Structure 1
Amino acid sequence: MYPLKFKPILKERLWGGTKLKEVLGKPIKSQITGESWELSGVDGDISIVANGPLKGKTLQELISEQGEQLLGKSVVERFGDEFPILIKFIDAKRDLSVQLHPNDALAKKRHNSFGKTEMWYIMDADPGAKLIVGFNKNVDKQEYVQSLKNNTLLDLLNYEEVAEGDTFFINTGKIHAIGAGVLLAEIQQTSDITYRVFDFNRKDKDGNYRELHTELALDAIDYTKKDDFKVSYNHEPDKVNSMVESPYFKTNFLELNQNMQLRIEDRDSFTIYMCVGGEAEIANATGRARIKKGETLLVPADSMVIDIVTKGAKLLEVTI
């Protein structure tokens, strides 16, 4: 199977803007497009192939027809016919809600879903743009609930000013929010389960407050202050630099100024490339495809060698 590109699934959001078009070239017309789902196996939002002979096929159809060849034997053994990763670009013109995600056990029990561990790579940030990640001190459930009643939750939260290249790993249970002015790449478990706990008292286009999940969140939150979210990684050019290695996905950073060949016959996993800068042509023995900043590519697991041809590119490489 050749390297596969997919049609972006564009999502309007209350907090969205226009950077997905202006910076990443996405085909949007709305002024509030917040997300581009690049690679999705979520029910109702299944990605569709955009290139080559398989154009028009859904990701789910490919998994049914080419399971191990596409995903890898070990991935199929673990996840069956579920695609385990959801890939997005996110543009926050306004602050996202303060939220968190349940772990696998809780998500399975309540929603028959995976939990949602995720990571963020900052692609662009307005001056002073920030993220909310975790608490600024240890709190307990009682103090947290009281802060909701007093409308003082924001006083308990940790704020991180961000710049291009900053990377964050968000464990399940960690309270968080993407702040206004941030454009980022998101890699996460395949799950759309979010517990929204504060939304800045704002209303949607119909004049309604968005639903909060206060009670559901109480047993899902990690109330302890932790400094485990900022990812430190090497930026050595023309090398594979490890960023995140978790049970759910592994992510590397490649800043290439020249061509690179990777032997992956022992990987036993698909490989995803998110282009976060420049452009590159990526090939295996069966075919090739070009990606530029803001595009994503899936290299099937049956590939033995990946050739990356470029004069300059920044890539996130994601595997299981």
Structure 2
Amino acid sequence: MNLYPFKFQPILKERLWGGTKLKEVLGKPIESEITGESWELSAVEGDISTVANGPLAGTSLQQIIDQDPEGLLGKDVFERFGKDFPILIKFIDAKQDLSIQLHPNDELAKKRHNSFGKTEMWYVMDADPGANLIVGFNKDVTKEEYSKSLENDTLLDLLNYEQVKEGDTFFINTGKIHAIGAGVLLAEIQQTSDITYRVFDFNRRDKNGNLRELHTDLALDAMDYAKKDDFKVGYDTQKDAVNTMVDCPYFKTNFMNLDKDLSLDVANRSSFTILMCVGGSAEVITEAGSVKIQKGETVLVPANSTNISIQTDSVKLLEVTV
């Protein structure tokens, strides 16, 4: 099988809190006024990505993995995860505040849901003036204090708010209470998991007039109640270089702001490479083929590639590996 750089059909998700920026800013083919998510690269059951370019157009990501797991995933990734693609890539548009939520760790997720946990990171692509994120508590709280705040409808008083702008980056480890605020458009990189414990939803109702399900009891033992300043990611923005952003057990992400061509020697990289375009445009070339990428698009470069050439005069990329 000829494994070339792949683009995939976006999987578009309507959400109560979604808007139209995925179309207006990123050019996604949305028809709804409440589209909140574009899943760019997914192996979540029921939402498996389909190739959009080249000879394998129409083939699912899982079919490619099944036919050549080491070629696509890389030897180390295959040994660790088998044929399960370990990363889920999204763009998210929050016209309204998302629900306040958290995600379980691997151990709890495996025990309760037979799933990976959900460690994730956010890169802010666009933010309305004054837009913010909720990340963690603003003080150490006890389980009892937290539970009482839910009863008294005072949870918001315990939360930490972070005003954001383009380029701000956050690492959300499991157990951390969080929410994306209204007016934020971001790129999300996460473990392959769709397990979310929703704890507060501003008492909103869906289109049928129903309150959305909360996961109050499940969240109690999954939550980190300590105040921690471990979420804001500081990173270099050196031009025409590979700048480290996040290096955790589940994924590694680098930032590239290029005004000229760059060649990456990946012959010894035993992992696939994901390139998310968060600004500008480029052509991504390997020995097996090439593909153009622009803001709001994502390319998966198979692990058996030995060199990735990025040809551009202006592009901003997030590079993700395992």
TM-score for the superposition, normalised by structure 2: 0.99
Per-residue CA deviations over 1:16-70 (Å, capped at 9, x if unaligned) read: 0000000000000100000000000000000000000010000000000010000
Out of 154, 175, 178, the position equivalent to 1:176 is: 178
Per-residue CA deviations over 1:175-209 (Å, capped at 9, x if unaligned) read: 00000000000000000000000000110000000
Out of 76, 84, 88, the position equivalent to 1:86 is: 88
Name the residue aligned to 1:97: 99
> Counterparts of 1:252 and 1:64 in 2: how far apart (Å)?
28
> Counterparts of 1:127 and 1:249 in 2: how far apart (Å)?
31
Per-residue CA deviations over 1:112-170 (Å, capped at 9, x if unaligned) read: 00000000000000000000000000000000000000000000000000000000000
> Counterparts of 1:266 and 1:175 in 2: how far apart (Å)?
37
Q: Identity over the aligned pairs, expressed in percent?
A: 74
> Counterparts of 2:269 and 2:289 in 1: how far apart (Å)?
19
Query: What is the CA-CA distance between 1:307 and the residue it aligns to?
Result: 0.3
Tell me the number of residue pairs that the alignment of Structure 1 and Structure 2 aligns: 320
Note the 1:158-197 alignment, pairs <5 A: 158-197=160-199
**Structure 1: 5+ residue runs without aligned partners?**
none
Name the residue aligned to 2:120: 118
Per-residue CA deviations over 1:234-284 (Å, capped at 9, x if unaligned) read: 000000000000000000000000000010111110000000000000010
Out of 283, 286, 301, the position equivalent to 2:303 is: 301
What letter corresponds to residue 169 of structure 1 in structure 2? F
TM-score for the superposition, normalised by structure 1: 1.00
Name the residue aligned to 2:275: 273
Note the 1:303-318 alignment, pairs <5 A: 303-318=305-320
Name the residue aligned to 2:234: 232
What letter corresponds to residue 230 of structure 2 in structure 1? D
> Counterparts of 1:66 and 1:162 in 2: how far apart (Å)?
41
- Runs of 4+ deviating beyond 2 Å: none
Local SS of the residue matching 1:133: strand
Name the residue aligned to 1:283: 285
Name the residue aligned to 1:53: 55
**Aligned Cα root-mean-square deviation (Å):** 0.3
Query: What is the CA-CA distance between 1:314 and the residue it aligns to?
Result: 0.2
Local SS of the residue matching 2:64: helix
> Counterparts of 1:15 and 1:284 in 2: how far apart (Å)?
39
> Counterparts of 1:182 and 1:66 in 2: how far apart (Å)?
38
**Structure 2: 5+ residue runs without aligned partners?**
none
> Counterparts of 1:215 and 1:16 in 2: how far apart (Å)?
27
